[in-house]
Amino acid sequence: MNITSYLIRGLATGGQFALVAIGYTMVYGILKLINFAHGELFMVSGILMIYIVADLPTLPIGLAICLMAALTVFIGFLIEKFAYSPLRSAPRMSVMISAIGVSYLLQNLVSYITGGLSKQFPDIPVIGESVRFLGIKDKLTVFLSPVIAIVLTVILVQIINHTKFGMAMRAVSKDFETSQLMGIKINRVISITFAIGAFLAATGSVLYFAKNTGINHLSGANPGLKAFIAAVVGGIGSIPGAVVGALIIGVAESLAKAFGLADFSDVISFGLLIIILVVKPTGIFGEKTTEKV
Amino acid sequence: MSDNILEIKTLNVRFGGILAVNDISLDVRRGKIVTLIGANGAGKSTILRSVSGIVKPVHGEILFEGENIMGLTPEQIVKKGITLVPEGRRVFPNLTVLENLKMGAYLRKDDYEKDLSYVYRLFPRLEERSWQSAGTLSGGEQQMLAVGRALMSSPKLIMMDEPSLGLAPLVVRDIFSIIRTINENGITVLLIEQNANMALKTCDYGYVIETGNITMQGEGDKLLNDDRVKEAYLGKSRNG
């Protein structure tokens, strides 16, 4: 394999991580919470897809994906309602512990349902098919992932910057109480933020598991961790930052493989994280905190 | 309809067992400027925050245009026509000036262009800086923005929490003249101030609050010339 193919596979993984990383960064932006359950939600959406396709074999795959995305969004919404919303005025540490709890709950639940065995992700037509592009033969999902990630990001950023709801989101992320005084229902804004994050994670999971087809209850841990690192590298709270961070992490890990350092891919991600934190603690797109008080 | 736009009756607010507001009753006449003065921690902000629905009182009644609004959510209260300019301005620093003003009109379904041009007429500076992010404005400009943002909800009653806090004397004068202008345009004002002198000169009626209780009330001029008020809140520097 030549370097281009590693580069493209790196961008693919990066694009898939990016869709997960946006969920981390958006929730952090609004609640200042690292939602540790997000990686598990990503895994759960993969598992849901398996069960939906197995139990409803007559359902067209497109509808199955929509159903899976809807269920993932619903679970994301439930997690917020039951694990985070009651802790709105609790110290941040308590919410984080709750997030870790949800993460283990989801893992254990899936392990109970699947018996801890690896399940095979269904064949997804079109994106699961092999194509040849730029002289490289791989599943279409590999070529498509970074494109889909970037398109969805552009749409999301437009919504946040140019719609009334986006404006409310930005206001809530700065000041809960004053947002309430404007008449914004902050709980609704937070719920929708979780829903968007869950939807993107569901999209990412289809793209990711179409290529890496074996899923068990631990399959969310690594992508979740990498997406989290990506969000921090890019500057947590920044959506373009999360995408850029994810693409960098994806490409760096893939290039590590190209140079025969596959065993060191984690070292490379964490090394990048450390370098960024030392050089620019707020991350690549980190917010400048120079507001007048 | 009653003359009072807002009536607060035996309001009690507690924070973790500590009584912040103790059986306070006060009235705000429609079309007037009413001020609450008193030392820090006397419970003034808590009263305004209770009216806004941010703080949940233990008991009491808050009547707005004769209707009890206690227990309503902040957004229902904004819809009724009450707005609060919070202490410390609290503009959204990451939003532009124009976006901040639009946030003030968040719940409105009707056209707010007229109110926007009204706010720009009151504060021409805000129009000049409409595309600038609010965090880059000076303190006085941020206060104007906070007032403008509150006006965008087209309120019947505007409550202001320490609008002159931390501002230069010249800017303070501007803010008070704006408060009078807003009031002349038909909006009732409920004002909290640590600048008792300016507040009592501007208001029609004033209440003095000490540690959760109302200790004095009366017309602005009367309080301004009251010996106890002079001693406690106006100090010796009062020459005119």
pLDDT in tens, A1-58: 688 889 999 999 999 999 999 999 999 999 999 999 999 999 999 999 999 999 998 9
How many Å separate Cα A37 from the centre of its chain? 11
DSSP 8-state class, residue A89: T
Interface contact A288, partner B, CB < 8 A? no
CA atoms within 13 A on the CB side of B134: 27
Nearest chain A Cα distance for residue B30, angstroms: 22
Residues 6+ apart with CB under 8 A from A248: A14, A230, A233, A234, A272
Question: Would you state the pLDDT for residue B2?
Answer: 67
Given CB atoms, is B136 within the 8 Å cutoff of chain A?
yes
From the centroid of its chain, how far is CA B234?
21
C-beta atoms surrounding B34 within 10 Å: 24
Enumerate residues 6+ apart whose C-beta is below 8 A from B27.
B4, B6, B7, B8
| Neighbouring C-alpha atoms within 13 Å toward the C-beta of B172 | 15
The mean per-residue pLDDT over the stretch A96-111 comes to 96
B52 and chain A in contact, CB less than 8 A? yes
Helix (H) or strand (E) holding A95: helix A92-114
Identify the residue whose tokens are 């002198």: B197
Rounded CA-CA distance A265/A6 in Å is 13
Contact A177 B90 (CB under 8 A): yes
- The per-residue pLDDT for A288 is 62
Cross-chain Cβ contact B95/A171 below 8 Å: yes
- Is the pLDDT assigned to residue A287 strictly greater than 80? no
Identify all chain A residues contacting B75, using CB atoms and an 8 Å cutoff.
180, 183-185
- Say yes or no for a CB contact (<8 Å) between B103 and A182: yes
A163 inside 8 A of chain B by CB: no
Q: Please say if the pLDDT value at position B229 is more than 90.
A: no
Q: Which has more confidence, B19 or A247?
A: A247
Diameter of chain A by CA atoms?
60
In this predicted structure, what is the pLDDT of residue A293? 38
Q: Which residues contact B195 (CB under 8 A, 6 or more apart)?
A: B164, B172
Q: Residue A233 carries which side chain, given as an amino acid letter? A: V
Nearest CB among A174, A185, A290 relative to B92 is that of A174
Cα-only R_g, chain B = 17
pLDDT at A112 over 80: yes
B92, B152, B158, B161: best mutation site toward chain A, by most A Cβ within 10 Å? B92
Which of A:239-258 have CB within 8 Å of B? none
Residue A41 and residue B215: Cα distance in Å, rounded? 58
Average pLDDT of the residues of chain B: 91
Residues 92-111 of B with CB under 8 A from A: 92-95, 99, 102-104, 106-107
Residues of B in contact with A292 (CB under 8 A): 93, 135-139, 142
Q: Is the pLDDT of residue A208 over 90?
A: yes
Q: Does A164 touch chain B (CB under 8 A)?
A: yes
Bridge partners of residue B160, in order along the sequence: B85, B191
pLDDT at A138: 86
How high is the pLDDT of residue A289? 56
Percent residues over pLDDT 70 in chain A: 98
Q: Do B75 and A180 touch (CB under 8 A)?
A: yes
Enter the tokens of residue A179: 């947002």
Residue with the bigger pLDDT between A123 and B232: it is: A123
Chain B residues with CB under 8 Å of A175 CB are 90, 92
The domain locations on chain A are 3-279
Share above pLDDT 90 across residues of chain B, in percent, rounded to a whole number: 77
Residue B135 touches chain A, beta carbons under 8 Å: yes
Exposed, middle or buried, B216 (CB in 10 Å: 0-12/13-18/19+)?
middle
pLDDT tens digits for range B165-178: 989 999 999 999 99
The CATH number of the domain covering residues in A3-279: 1.10.3470
Apex B147 CA angle, B146 and B152, nearest 5: 95
- Tokens representing residue A6 in the block: 């590693």
Chain segment A55-91, per-residue pLDDT in tens: 998 999 999 999 999 999 999 999 999 999 999 989 9
C-alpha A127/C-alpha B6 separation (Å) is 63
Q: In which band, very low, low, confident or very high, does the pLDDT at B18 lie, cut at 50, 70 and 90?
A: confident
Is A92 near chain B, with CB under 8 Å?
no
A292/B93 Cβ within 8 A: yes
Min Cα–Cα distance to chain A from B51, Å: 11
Q: Convert chain B into a string of H (helix), E (strand) and C (coil).
A: CCCEEEEEEEEEEEECCEEEEEEEEEEEECCCEEEEECCCCCCHHHHHHHHHCCCCCCEEEEEECCEECCCCCHHHHHHHCEEEECCCCCCCCCCEHHHHHHHHCCCCCCCCHHHHHHHHHHCHHHHHCCCCEHHHCCHHHHHHHHHHHHHCCCCCEEEEECCCCCCCHHHHHHHHHHHHHHHHCCCEEEEEECCHHHHHHHCCEEEEEECCEEEEEEEHHHHHCCHHHHHHHHCCCCCC
Which pTM does this prediction carry? 0.91
> Any CB–CB contact under 8 A between A162 and chain B?
no
By the CB < 8 Å criterion, does B166 face chain A? no
Q: Per-residue pLDDT for A133 more than 90?
A: no
Backbone angles phi and psi of B104, in degrees to 5: -60, -30
Residues of chain A found within 8 Å of residue B79, distances taken between Cβ atoms:
183
| pLDDT of the residue at A135 | 81
ipTM: 0.91
Q: Which of these, A31, A72, A36, lies nearest to A201 by C-alpha position?
A: A72
* Cα–Cα dist B202/B221, whole Å: 9
d(CA B139, CA B150): 17
Cα end-to-end distance, chain B, whole Å:
38
Q: In the predicted model, what is the mean pLDDT of residues B43-72? A: 93
Q: Which of B83, B93, B103 sits opposite A291 (nearest CB)?
A: B93
Q: Residue B238 pLDDT > 80, yes or no?
A: no
- pLDDT, residue A290, reads 47
- Cβ of B153 under 8 Å from any chain A Cβ? yes
State which residue of chain B sits closest to A164, comparing Cα positions: B106
Q: Cα–Cα distances in Å, from A43 out to A17, A146, A184, B22, B238?
A: 12, 20, 33, 54, 70
State the average pLDDT over residues A239-260: 93
Tokens matching residue B176: 């008070």
The single-letter DSSP state of residue A185 is -
Residue B239 has pLDDT above 70, yes or no: no
Instruction: Give the residue from chain B lying closest to A288, CA to CA.
Output: B94
Is the Cβ of A150 closer than 8 Å to some Cβ of chain B?
no
> What is the DSSP annotation of A190-249?
HHHHHHHHHHHHHHHHHHHHTTS-EE-TTTTHHHHHHHHHHHHHH-TT-HHHHHHHHHHH
